Amino acid sequence: MPLSGQTSDLSLADLVQANVYGRNTCRVLVATAQGHGVFFLSDGAIVDASFGDLEGRDAFVALVNADDAHFRVDSGIRCPARTIHEDWQRLLMDAARLKDEGKVPAPLSQATLEAATPGVSAGRDARTAKAPRPPSPGTGEPRSVADAPAERRRGATMFVVVPVLVAALAVVGYLAMGRRSSEAREPAASPAGPVETVEVTALTEAGDSPPQLLQGQPPRSPNASLAVAPTVVCRILVDEKGTVVDAKIFRSRLELAAFEEVAVEAVKSYRFKPGLRAGTPVRVWVNWPMSFQ
């Protein structure tokens, strides 16, 4: 049986994460005030999206940020094409960043599309042409989720994220002359250069790689009576050794305070394979989603 609901009860970002962790293959139909769209997951990977004239990454970002949307999840449906090749965490982090910056891609209205491409309303995208229609919120009446035009222009937005912080290491001081302690007899370490600090979304070139989790388990839910625990996004700084040296909540919510406190304490003990920039370990800021057992 398909799963359906409203984004006011379950955000599309949380819905995506649940299906990613479950390594699910499914189609997600989304009805919004701006139009209707669809995105697909295959074995837990986000592989395709379309929303009006938007396609691929831009379409997914716009759908995830849609307000007051209705969604329906059809399990086991695979997409015939692939337009998205990015990691799901990077996609969700970019979606959150673009929303904060007010730069979320917006699909053209149906009227604008028809004016620009006469006859386009008669077409149907092959990925949604046979899709069942989700009900309109609160009415029980079906409404179309297959109004995407047959011809769409690929989004051309380029996202560039630059490093924002440079951490400095303390210079090793010289021991006072004449001291005969064991520390004085050891060779003094050479002063180390500063270690670069970057956003994980900046690690896109050859020789770059984001931090990879080596050790860490989801914490226990502070409220075991809930049928479904929320997902809390922590903003963490992983140093060049793979240690979490800073952790806080990304966009805190008062009603989730108990979950946020548990998530921050748990993620501090996580261990990662360090992020690399041009093959060199760097300190990396990551928005890390935390689920609960």
pLDDT, residue 167, reads 39
Write the DSSP symbol of residue 77: P
pLDDT beyond 80 at 269: yes
Rounded distance between C-alpha atoms, residue 186 and residue 269, angstroms: 32
* Helix/strand/coil for 225: coil
Mean pLDDT of the chain, nearest integer? 77
Neighbours of 291 (CB within 10 A): 16
- The pLDDT of 247-271, averaged and rounded, is 93
Phi-psi region of 247 (alpha: psi -120 to 50; beta: other; left: phi over 0): beta
Give the model's pLDDT for residue 193: 65
Domain layout of the chain by residue ranges:
3-122, 165-290
Instruction: List, in order, residues 6 or more apart from 204 with CB less than 8 Å away.
Output: none
Comparing CA positions, the residue from 23, 22, 101, 21 lying closest to residue 61 is 101
Which pTM value belongs to this model?
0.43
* Residues 37/49, Cβ–Cβ less than 8 Å: yes
Q: How many CB atoms neighbour CB 91 within 10 A?
A: 20
Q: In this predicted structure, what is the pLDDT of residue 10? A: 86
DSSP state of 209: B
Q: What is the pLDDT of residues 146-176, one digit of tens each?
A: 444 443 434 333 333 333 333 333 333 444 4
The pLDDT of residue 267 is 95
Higher per-residue pLDDT: 209 or 153: 209
- Compute the average pLDDT of residues 275-292: 94
* 44-76 confidence digits (pLDDT tens): 999 999 998 899 999 999 999 998 899 999 999
Sorted by sequence, the CB contacts under 8 Å of residue 243 that are 6+ apart come out as 271, 272
Instruction: Considering only residues 278 and 139, tell me which one the structure prediction assigns the higher pLDDT.
Output: 278
